Amino acid sequence: MATIAQSPAGTHQWSRSPSPHEALEAHYAANPDTRPPHPHKWDTSRSDIYFENRWEPIFKEMRAAGPVHYIPESPFGPYWSVVGHKAVQHTEALPEIFSSSWEYGGITILDDLPDIPEEERMRLPMFIAMDRPKHTGQRKTVAPAFTPAEMKRLEDDIRQRTGETLDALPRGEVFDWVNTVSIPLTTGMLAILFDFPWEDRDLLTHWSDWAGDTELATVRALDETRRGMLHEMAAYFQLLWAERAQKGEAPDLISRMIHSPAMNQMEPQEFMGNLVLLIVGGNDTTRNTMSGIVHAFDRFPDQRKLFEEDASLIPNAVQECIRYQTPLKHMRRTATQDTELFGQNIAAGDKVLLWYNSANRDESVFEDAEKLDIRRENARRHLAFGYGIHRCVGARLAELQLRVLLEEMHKRRLRVHVAGDVQRVRANFVEGFRKLEVEVTEF
């Protein structure tokens, strides 16, 4: 276990407000007319299709009609949807034409709300939303934190924390897997990566939930709260930054950023942006696959049985569960020039969404794509981590955490049944579970 730094923890009072999901549901309950309208039948920016888990047939219909479609109307303006596996990969391989840069619009569907004055706009530059060459230098700074050697160094700790979490699970009663397993394991991992004050680690989850939600930002009142949360986070990290800057080099991510030539000249906004990226990138995603695995095994008991009978299937099961779950539904690009994409004419400035969830259901690549198949030979071809220069830098860490979770479940002969309420996240970006009530038995 990494040492927990002497930190700003306890020296300041940090407000803990409701989660964004609670805030959003309360807002919609009180103001049902403010739900954004989605008149176009293929506008998959609508979050209700994910909340109600009815997105698969919509994308299937789109794929059957072609790999790239124009959606002229949505609460986020017009956009292109790239829905085929080959087309998503192709687009990602052309970063000069399809920019990730926040100067063009960044990597989410959201452009700043038009009524927000320039000085209030919260543009957080982060390297996922940069093009070459700046992206290359900043990515290189954090990449050494995710090498195979680093994964080896972290594995024992991950295994120990996972084992302890599983050993403490209640028996003979229904409990929420999200709050009891998925959130504590991923939040603990991030706290270790940042050497973040352990007693304050729940704040990482809280901030990440507020930062990563684009639906919220369509609701002006909640967007203000969201900006407030980001400012609160910025204040905390500024204290941590000052504290780490006093110390010498260390393997935690904040120290790596402080002492790297590519990052140590960063403006405070840029530093904050990269921290948000690492927190949101490493939090919602892995957390939701930890829940997704349990949900998928319950939905496909034949696959759970295969896992129980043969632990050697675990590495491939991890890939297949990531394909099946696809924790980030899309990334956005912006065309830097007029271009043609699979027969469609795209104009400079157009917004282009790469739908990983649809690419991972593409029948021309994955047979019976809507089924979980932990022996699937090409499960590794999934695009859940993206492709090309921006491919997820934390992929190895996510895979390690998920493999260890399955191995430790297997060792304990733990079978997890869905036994109560299942609530999905209402979002068009993150795919996941807010609540997953389960019961454990042995196999």
CA dihedral 363, 368, 373, 377 (to 10 degrees): -50
Find out whether 443 and 413 touch, Cβ atoms under 8 Å. yes
Q: Give the nearest distance from C-beta 418 to ligand HEM in angstroms.
A: 21
Residue 76 beta carbon to ligand HEM: minimum distance, rounded to whole angstroms: 18
Task: Give the per-residue contact string, 59-88, with ligand HEM (x = CB under 6 A; - = no).
Answer: ------------------------------
**92 makes contact with ligand HEM (CB under 6 A):** yes
Nearest-angstrom CA–CA distance, 420 and 176: 9
For residue 440, the one-letter residue type is V
Can you read off the two tokens belonging to residue 199?
């007693």
Residue whose token pair is 């309950």: 29
In the bound state with ligand HEM, the residue whose beta carbon lies nearer, of 375 and 391, is 391
Dihedral sign (CA 14, 15, 18, 21): negative
- Residue 398 binds ligand HEM (CB under 6 A): yes
- Strands of 40-95, DSSP E: 68-71, 79-82
Q: Is 392 in the site for ligand HEM (CB under 6 A)?
A: yes
User: Considering the complex, what minimum distance in angstroms separates the CB of residue 182 from ligand HEM?
Assistant: 11
Q: Residue 390 interacts with ligand HEM (CB under 6 A)?
A: yes
**Residues 300 to 359: which contact ligand HEM by CB under 6 A?**
322, 327-328, 331
Size of residue set near ligand HEM by CB under 6 A: 28
Closest approach, Cβ 78 to ligand HEM, in A, equals: 21
Q: In this chain, which of 125, 188, 281, 292 binds ligand HEM, going by CB under 6 A?
A: 281
CA of 417: how far to CAs of 171, 204, 227, 294, in Å?
12, 29, 38, 8
Cβ of residue 394: shortest distance to ligand HEM, in angstroms? Answer: 2
Find the shortest distance in angstroms from Cβ 28 to ligand HEM.
Answer: 27
Query: If binding is defined by CB under 6 A, does position 196 make contact with ligand HEM?
Result: no
The DSSP output letter for 102 is T
Cβ proximity to ligand HEM, 23 vs 68, nearer residue:
68
Q: Which is nearer to ligand HEM, 219 or 230 (CB)?
A: 230
CB-side neighbour CA atoms (13 Å) of 361: 21
| 157 within 8 A of 1, measured Cβ to Cβ | yes
Among residues 234, 278, 296, 314, which is the contact residue for ligand HEM, using CB under 6 A?
A: 278
DSSP 172-193: SS-EEHIIIIIHHHHHHHHHHH
Binding of residue 393 to ligand HEM (CB under 6 A): yes
Residue 377's alpha-carbon distances to 294, 316, 393, in angstroms, are 21, 8, 24
Long-range (24+ apart) CB contacts under 8 A made by 47-53 are 47/215, 47/426, 47/427, 47/428, 48/426, 50/329, 50/424, 50/425, 50/426, 50/427, 50/428, 50/431, 51/424, 51/425, 51/426, 52/424, 53/424
Residue number, 23 or 400, with CB nearest to ligand HEM: 400
Binding part of the chain for ligand HEM, among 160-168, 276-284, 359-367, 408-416 by CB under 6 A, reads 276-284
The distance of closest approach from Cβ of residue 156 to ligand HEM in the complex, given in angstroms and rounded to an integer, is 18
Query: Minimum Å distance from CB 439 to ligand HEM?
Result: 25
Residues 114-153, interacting with ligand HEM (CB under 6 A): 127-128, 139
DSSP for 226-247, written as a single string: HHHHHHHHHHHHHHHHHHHHHS
Which residues contact ligand HEM by CB under 6 A?
92, 127-128, 139, 193, 277-278, 281-282, 285-286, 289, 322, 327-328, 331, 384-388, 390-394, 397-398
